[in-house]
């Protein structure tokens, strides 16, 4: 199971479909699971704490990591935000 964005969980299985039982458990316990999986870093949400580097192999894009925890945050186009 992985965090896949605000309020979203992604269930990962080795092969085939995610069992319905697992989906039910995940949705019944979603708030706790999200709390557990979410990056534990508040400064993360502040662009002032982003370290921006040119994205390897993606011309015109910036790769951002968090100055505080070192986590990868995301890619964005150089032009806008």
Residue 39 C-beta: closest distance to Zn ion, Å: 6
Stretch that binds Zn ion, among 12-20, 27-35, 53-61, 64-72 (CB under 5 A): 64-72
Candidate residues 25, 41, 61, 63; the one interacting with Zn ion per rule CB under 5 A:
41
User: Count of alpha carbons within 13 Å of 38, Cβ hemisphere only?
Assistant: 15
Stretch that binds Zn ion, among 6-14, 19-27, 35-43, 50-58 (CB under 5 A): 35-43
d(CA 68, CA 61) in angstroms, rounded, equals 22
Element holding 73 (H helix, E strand): strand 72-77
In the window 44-63, what residues touch Zn ion (CB under 5 A)?
44
d(CA 81, CA 68) in angstroms, rounded, equals 21
Residue 76 C-beta: closest distance to Zn ion, Å: 16
* Cβ 23 vs Cβ 38: under 8 Å: no
Q: Which residues bind Zn ion (CB under 5 A)?
A: 41, 44, 66, 68-69, 71
């Amino acid at each position: 199971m992985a965090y896949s964005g605000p309020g979203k969980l992604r269930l990962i299985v080795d092969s085939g479909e995610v069992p319905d039982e697992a989906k039910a458990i995940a949705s019944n316990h979603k708030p706790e699971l999200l709390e557990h999986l979410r990056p534990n870093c508040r400064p993360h949400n502040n662009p002032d704490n982003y370290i921006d580097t040119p994205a390897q192999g993606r011309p015109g894009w910036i790769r951002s990591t968090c100055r505080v925890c070192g986590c990868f945050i995301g890619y964005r186009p150089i032009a806008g935000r």
